Amino acid sequence: MVKVIVRAFSISLDGYGAGPEQSLENPLGVGGRGLHEWLFPTRTFQRILGKDAGTSGVDDEFAARSFENVGAWILGRNMFGPIRGPWPDEHWKGWWGDNPPYHVPVFVLTHHARPPLQMEGGTTFHFVTDGIQSALERARAAANGKDVRVGGGVATLQQFFRAGLIDECHIAISPVLLGAGEPLFADMNLVALGYRCTQHVCSPAATHVVLTRQG
Amino acid sequence: MVKVIVRAFSISLDGYGAGPEQSLENPLGVGGRGLHEWLFPTRTFQRILGKDAGTSGVDDEFAARSFENVGAWILGRNMFGPIRGPWPDEHWKGWWGDNPPYHVPVFVLTHHARPPLQMEGGTTFHFVTDGIQSALERARAAANGKDVRVGGGVATLQQFFRAGLIDECHIAISPVLLGAGEPLFADMNLVALGYRCTQHVCSPAATHVVLTRQG
């Protein structure tokens, strides 16, 4: 059975999944980089950068697990880029350069249609204009029996949580305050939606929790 | 210099400092007990219950520190009891029985005046009807050079944070979801208010962070 998962989604102590004022200069919003300090030094992340180095341990285990058995991704549009409204042209191809770190089909939620975009290394961006259920159907079909990973951001996760579509969600709580941004848990009752915390492990850099939908 | 501190304030993963629907049966709101599971087994807490047992380690260190050098407390009214509106009589004397675990003057914020209430063991409850600044002045004077500890709940902490009056705040993040209740960080920009995370230590039962006001 294809699972719908969230992995390595980082939030601040005050619950923000991204800083305010995302822009080309601040893809993660102002201060948002601090959310991911647990991830950057890991062996898994350093390998993505092409380096044969990095830390092992709890943080790396969660980083590695986040890429295991992922057959397709779903991203909110802001995770794909800083452009809002209609696409001015087809110049913007994501934050990640010619060879994005996905290597599978990626379904980008947007209100503005655009032809699929084939990148190097197996990543193809598909632009889905008819909502999360449609994106999920297409992602499931493309995932080839593997899991569908919903990458974020907060608005996208909230839509999926509210529809009861997330099976399992790993969150890394980083020891930083952001003060403002997008609050992951606002106006969303995860208990009523059937979730509980099924794993809780800490490193000096983050608290890792797994939320699982019961029944 | 008298410091104004928050210690051992527990929140859920989704940021709630108490569960919903506080009542005589649920002093911490529905599900709120789960917030404090890190505290109950500690040697410090067990001693309050009169038992010579309990765990040592990180959780107990934070529990013990939470009672060190406290000269006076400030509590929101809901931390004192479940009664809302005018006091029907003087029957209610707090959640804690004849000998509350404070042993110093405690200033209770309320809109409804009431004479001071002297309990066994050194605790006297004073009812303050003219706001947090007045409560703080009186608590400082009563603290005899020691610290003033603001106990909560969320609404009270938010008032003190927004006024920039908290010098240091220890929060324990418990590995539970509450789904609803009182969100500690909502509509409050702790970064703009000058706070940052200055300590981050984990146990299997909780993530302990200390937020400190800079400058």
Residue A70 lies in a domain: yes
pLDDT band at B194 (very low <50, low <70, confident <90, very high): very high
Distance from CA of A202 to the nearest CA of B (A): 6
Q: Is the pLDDT of residue B58 over 90?
A: yes
Cβ of B183 within 8 Å of Cβ of A186? The answer is yes
- Give chain B's domain count: 1
In this predicted structure, the answer to whether residue B25 has a pLDDT above a threshold of 90 is no
Interface of B to A at Cβ within 8 Å reads 13-15, 31, 171, 173, 175-180, 183, 185-186, 189-193, 195-197, 200, 202-204, 207, 209, 211
Q: Tell me, rounded to whole angstroms, the distance of Cα A157 from its chain centroid.
A: 8
Residue A117: the pLDDT is 97
Quick check: A148 and A140 in contact, CB under 8 A? yes
Contact criterion met (CB < 8 Å) for A178 and B200: no
**Average pLDDT in chain A:** 95
Residue A94's pLDDT is: 94
Instruction: Answer yes or no: is B166 within a domain.
Output: yes
Distance from CA of B65 to the nearest CA of A (A): 20
Identify whether B194 is preceded by a cis peptide bond (ω within 30 of 0): no
- Is residue A94, in this structure, part of any structural domain at all? no
**Residue A1's pLDDT is what?**
80
% of chain A surpassing 90 pLDDT: 88
Predicted local confidence at residue A18, as pLDDT: 87
pLDDT value of position B134: 98
Residues of A within 8 A of B193 (CB-CB) are 179
Query: What strands lie across the sheet with A207-213, from one edge to the other?
Result: A117-118, A124-128, A105-109, A70-76, A147-152, A4-11, A168-173, A207-213, A195-202
CA distance A152 to chain B (A): 17
Residue B82 lies in a domain: no
For residue B32, the model assigns a pLDDT of 86
Is the Cβ–Cβ distance between A4 and A156 less than 8 Å? no
Q: How high is the mean pLDDT of chain B?
A: 95
What pTM does this model have? Answer: 0.94
Distance in Å, alpha carbon of A205 to nearest chain B alpha carbon = 8
Q: Is residue B140 part of a domain?
A: no
Query: What pLDDT score does A142 carry?
Result: 97
Verify whether the Cβ–Cβ distance B190 to A176 is below 8 Å: no
Is-cis flag, bond preceding A153, omega within 30?
yes
pLDDT in tens, A111-124: 999 999 999 999 99
ipTM score: 0.94
pLDDT in tens, B141-185: 999 999 999 999 999 999 999 999 999 999 999 999 999 999 999
Whether residue B113 is contained in a domain is answered as: no
Contacts with B195 from chain A: Cβ below 8 Å = 177
A25 within domain boundaries? no
Residue B209: domain span = 4-15+30-77+148-213
User: Which residue, chain included where needed, has tokens 């505290």?
Assistant: B39
Asked if residue A215 has pLDDT above 80, the reply is: no
A58 confidence band (pLDDT: 50, 70, 90): very high
If you measure CA to CA, which chain A residue comes closest to B181? A189
Q: How high is the pLDDT of residue A183?
A: 95
Would you state the pLDDT for residue B152? Answer: 92
CATH code at position B11 = 3.40.430.10
- Tell whether A105 is covered by a domain: no
Contact between B197 and A13 using a beta-carbon 8 Å cutoff: yes
Q: How many CB pairs under 8 A join A and B?
A: 81
Shortest CA distance from B191: residue in chain A: A179
CB atoms within 10 A of CB A88: 8
Maximum CA extent, chain A: 45
Q: Which residues of B touch A173 (CB under 8 A)?
A: 13, 173, 207
Q: Who contacts A118 (Cβ-Cβ below 8 Å, separation ≥6)? A: A124
CB contact under 8 A, A200 and B175: yes
**The two three-digit tokens of residue A13, written as one number:** 């102590």
